[in-house]
Amino acid sequence: MLKYIIKRILQFIPVFFGVTLILFLVANYMPGSDPVQMKVGEKHVTPELRKQIEQDYGLNRPWYIQYGDYLAKLTKGDLGVSISTGRKVSDIILEKYPFTLNLALVAIAIEIVIGICAGVISALKQRTFLDVLVTLATSISVSLPVFWLGLLLQYFFGIFLKQQTGGAFYLPISGASGVLPSWEYYVLPGITLAAVSTAYGARIMRSQLIEVMGMDYIRTAKAKGLSGRQILFHHEMKNALIPVVTFIGLDFGAMLAGAVLTETVFNWPGIGFTIYRAIMARDFQVVIGCVTVILFAVMIINLLVDISYAFLDPRIRFGGSEE
């Protein structure tokens, strides 16, 4: 296991350099990415002012020198300075990332509980009303655009119910800002973020569990007289969960990257909304810094998912090791 972890970490190194280099080149050479114009405006740019700003930000040096400087600063936790606001990118991320992290945890909890439970029920109750209901619900869920679902939930829970109950019951539709909000602010964006993933998780769980239920070792376990509960939790679930864990882990990494549509619809001040606003403002220093942090988070999540396989199925050995 230790050898596998070291091998995976070493594999992250070229991935990191490749992603950051491509992002750095795109951000600096795509049309409309002139940081001097973003700083003072196109009408106010003079040759003297351009020269001064380029010297202050090190923009007058070759791109490979700038990229090397960025990597050197990154080892010290320095992600640069926002061109548009003048704030440190690291401070912006520290301020915004807790919103995304908490929202991702809420969404992944919904996905795990509802998705896995729905998939198990559907597999155990094949060709019954519950199976049809789960299949229908997941089919509708995966077909709904995320932004439309968010707007629909905002209208029903934030406007319609508020009018019908005279303000006695409703859920906030936006307004999370400043400090981390209370639990009710997470309900609607959490459901919106988790809806599609929960449906896919339920479908994967159902198909995998049905496949495992037909295996020879399951019939052997039944022949030995094991109870249905023992077979389900000690034999069927462990093997069926492996692809589900893979999907949930990758999905959690994507959520940590910031759900741009969900955060935009609910005016959620997370990392996804921050990246969106930075792209609109052509503030690519913020974009590069945010994506770099996201890259680290996704790589760590992927490593943890791979390690979890050994706990779900002890037969799995990585790299041929018998440790």
Strand, coil or helix: 146: helix
Task: Please tell me whether residue 88 adopts helix, strand or coil conformation.
Answer: strand
What distance in Å separates the CA atoms of residue 79 and residue 91, rounded to the nearest whole number?
9
CB burial of 251-289 (b: ≥16 within 10 Å; e: otherwise) equals bbbbbbbbbbbbbbbbebbbbbbbbbebeeebbbbbbbb
pLDDT of residue 114: 94
User: Looking at residue 261, what is its pLDDT?
Assistant: 84
**Cβ-contact 35, 81 below 8 angstroms:** no
CB 153 within 8 A of CB 191: yes
pTM, two decimal places: 0.80
Q: Could you give the maximum distance between any two Cα atoms of the chain, in Å?
A: 86
pLDDT at 115: 92
| Beta carbons of 64 and 242 less than 8 angstroms apart | no
pLDDT at residue 313, as a whole number: 64
Q: What is the pLDDT of residues 8-25, one digit of tens each?
A: 788 888 888 888 888 878
Directed axis angle between helix 284-312 and helix 89-110, to 10°?
Answer: 40
Please write the tens of the pLDDT for every residue from 210-236. Answer: 988 888 888 888 888 878 778 887 778
For residues 123 and 228, the answer to whether their CB atoms sit within 8 Å is no
What does the alpha-carbon distance between residue 288 and residue 16 come to, in Å, rounded to a whole number? 12
pLDDT at 33: 59
Delimit the domains of the chain by residue range.
Answer: 2-74, 98-212+239-311
What was the pLDDT predicted at 179?
A: 67
Task: Give me the average pLDDT of each 10-residue run along the chain (323 residues).
Answer: 77 85 77 61 65 70 81 84 83 89 92 92 90 92 88 88 78 72 87 92 92 84 81 80 86 80 87 86 83 86 78 58 42
Residue in the block written with tokens 């690519």: 284
Query: What is the per-residue pLDDT for 222?
Result: 82
Contact 89, 79 (CB under 8 A): yes
Output the pLDDT for position 312.
Answer: 65
Crossing angle of the two packed helices 237-256 and 89-110, in degrees rounded to 10? 150
**98-212+239-311 maps to CATH 2.60.40.1180:** no
Crossing angle of helices 271-280 and 89-110, in 10° steps, is: 130
Q: Report the C-alpha gap between 288 and 274 in whole angstroms.
A: 12
pLDDT given at position 321: 43
Q: What's the pLDDT score for residue 23?
A: 81
Nearest Cα residue to 255 out of 204, 190, 308: 190
The confidence score (pLDDT) of residue 228 equals: 76
Cα–Cα distance between 7 and 109 in angstroms, integer? 30
| pLDDT tens-digit map of 46-60 | 677 767 766 766 667
Give the relative orientation of helices 184-213 and 89-110 as an angle to the nearest 10 degrees: 50
Q: What CA–CA distances, in Å, run from 246 to 6, 101, 193, 251, 306?
A: 20, 19, 18, 8, 8
Asked if 262 and 193 count as a contact pair (C-beta separation under 8 A), the reply is yes
DSSP-derived secondary structure for 34-46 = -HHHHHH-GGG--
Residue-level pLDDT at 137: 92
3 state DSSP class of 81: strand
Q: Which of 145, 104, 93, 96 is nearest to 251 (CA)?
A: 104
How many degrees, rounded to 5, is the angle at CA 153 between CA 148 and CA 157? Answer: 160
